[in-house]
Amino acid sequence: MNDDQPTPNRIMQLILGYWATGVLGTAANYCLFTYLEAGMDTAERLADRAGISVRGAQALLDGLVGLGLVEVRDGAYRNSAEASAFLVEGKPACLTAFAKVKMGHLGSLAGLPDAVRAWGPANVATVEVADNPHWESLVQALAAQSAPVAGIAADILRLAEAGEVSILDVGGGSGIYSAIWLGLNPAARSTQLDWAPINSIARRLLSARGVADRFTTIDGDLHTTDFGTGTYDLAVYSHIAHQEGPEENTAIFARLRTALKPGGTLVVNDYVVDDDRGGPPYALAFAGEMLLKSKRGTTWRRADYLTWLAKAGFDDVDFHPTSSPATLVFAR
């Protein structure tokens, strides 16, 4: 066969991509990466420790080797460097909870053809509500994704040496930004605005990290609750913009500008696509997720953020790619 001729291999991998989600999510469910890290390096040992069948353990190991997450040599298995860093329970950037959550979302993809035709999901009202029980698992699972980016933002802002600063985190979810930033700066104080059930999750996390005494919450909807005037040195808007439309983002940015002190900084964290919508791949693919789960959201271009932030009164905007799929945007 001519090496220049296309093959169906990559297309087959994409068609069967749900296999990867299922194998990874199931392995996470049974803590296989954690047990591998502890030296249980055969299907028999893993099966015994995880309480699963040897046949099942072997099938998962085969799948994980195929995905490049586990390595095998002379019949012994071990985590790849990636799996060791991001899939072992107890490590700060562990993504196993997120893998389990996303496996539970596989069925929702069957609704994508209808959402594409109808401009969005038919049942979005049941998702975007405060009392949806899925927040308990989803909010905590997302914390591990944001933790490295929160650390990068803190370094850029030189937050550890910033002294007494006040922080507003709008739609802060797990409170991971407040947890990390307050841990780095013992003089900082943070306020999170989110729905009451989500704020209760954040208070637990901040308490576990020993910084709850400098953390307060405001129960409310970010679209309608007052942010205050000239109150905060820093404001955070992390993974919210992709859920909102242009008018909503512009209005929220304007209210955040008002809430900041003169010279204050807004930190936006989200999946940002290039102006020609040619990349990056993760941010582009995430647009389909928003079609399924939001009324007007998508992954927005750099040009969109520049337009909205200028209208809101910010005249100094910087984009910082990170080691994750997300981009940090700093506006002053």
175 and 138, same structural domain? yes
209 and 274, same structural domain? yes
- Domain range for 227 is 120-331
For the chain, give the percent of residues with pLDDT over 90.
Answer: 80
Which residue, among 177, 175, 169, 170, has the nearest Cα to 151 in the 3D structure? 177
Calculate the CA 75 to chain-centre distance. 36
Domain count, the chain: 2
Query: Is position 41 within any domain?
Result: yes
83 and 127, same structural domain? no
CATH number at residue 17: 1.10.10.10
| Cβ–Cβ < 8 Å for 177, 238 | yes
Question: What pTM value is reported for the model?
Answer: 0.86
Tokens of 286: 């995430």
pLDDT over 80 at 122, yes or no: no
Q: Which residues, listed in sequence order, are joined to residue 217 by a DSSP beta bridge?
A: 192
Query: Is position 4 within any domain?
Result: no
Domain stop point among 104, 137, 166: 104
Domain stop point among 48, 72, 104: 104
Domain stop point among 79, 104, 129: 104
The lowest-confidence range among 91-95, 139-143, 187-191 is 139-143
251 and 315, same structural domain? yes
CATH number at residue 293: 3.40.50.150
**What average pLDDT does this structure show over 119-137?**
64
- Measured between alpha carbons, how far is 145 from 134 in angstroms, rounded to an integer? 17
Query: Is position 2 within any domain?
Result: no
Query: Is position 97 within any domain?
Result: yes
- Measured between alpha carbons, how far is 153 from 159 in angstroms, rounded to an integer? 8
Please report the pLDDT score of residue 116 as a whole number.
87
DSSP code for 300: P
pLDDT over 60 at 239, yes or no: yes
Q: Which residues, listed in sequence order, are joined to residue 268 by a DSSP beta bridge?
A: 237, 329
Please provide the average confidence, as pLDDT, over all residues in the chain.
Answer: 93
Better-predicted residue by pLDDT, 44 or 123: 44
Query: Is position 220 within any domain?
Result: yes
Instruction: Match 């399924």 to its residue by tokens.
Output: 292
